[in-house]
Amino acid sequence: MITPLRKGSGKTTTLLTAADTTITKYDILVYASGYVQRATNTVIEGRFMALEDKVTAAGDHEDLLVLYLGGVECEADTTDNMAQSYLGTYVDLTDHDTIDPDSGSYDCFYITEMIGATTDKKCRGYFVQQVSV
């Protein structure tokens, strides 16, 4: 699971979900054809986090309360044991709710701190916000 440490540092808004989808509170979300859906391991940014659970049927798009993650520090579960060498690196999502500290192909999460023992598989950091110029 990935959780925001200080939700007050981000802004909340309501966005429409993709059709025929299941979203769980704290899932990382991305846009797909103008609607939000769960992120996958190939995203280059984590822009939003779900603040509620939502299940939509085929053809339905529903409002979903989300947190904009720009500047919001998060605590994240990792798929592998943490190591000091991961601090200060950009890593990938494993899926919509886990960080992969061994993978740096898409670089969507920046690790700033290891939480607990290496075997606790937890870290803190920030999602990258891509800006086009």
Burial label for 80, CB within 10 Å (0-12, 13-18, 19+), is middle
Q: Which two tokens stand for residue 19?
A: 């059709």
Determine the residue type at 51. Answer: L
pLDDT at 89 (0 to 100): 95
Go through 100-121 and write b for each residue having 16 or more CB atoms within 10 A of its CB, e for each that does not: bbeeeebebbebeebeeeeeeb
| Cβ(36)–Cβ(101) below 8 Å | no
Percent of the chain residues past pLDDT 70, beyond the cut:
93
Percent of the chain residues past pLDDT 90, beyond the cut:
68
Q: Is the pLDDT of residue 126 over 80?
A: yes
Confidence of residue 47 (pLDDT cuts 50, 70, 90): confident
The SS3 assignment for 6 reads coil
Q: Is the pLDDT of residue 132 over 70?
A: no
* Whole-number Å distance between alpha carbons of 93 and 99: 4
pLDDT tens digits along 4-42: 887 666 688 999 999 999 999 999 999 989 999 999 888
How do strand 12-16 and strand 22-23 relate by DSSP bridges?
A: unpaired
* Mean pLDDT along residues 93-114: 90
pLDDT at 122 (0 to 100): 95
Cα 76–Cα 98–Cα 1 angle in degrees, nearest 5: 60
* Whole-number Å distance between alpha carbons of 79 and 41: 12
Q: Give the pTM.
A: 0.86
pLDDT at 7 (0 to 100): 62
The mean pLDDT of the chain is 90
Q: Is the pLDDT of residue 115 over 90?
A: yes
Q: Where are the domains of the chain?
A: 2-68, 74-127
The SS3 assignment for 86 reads helix
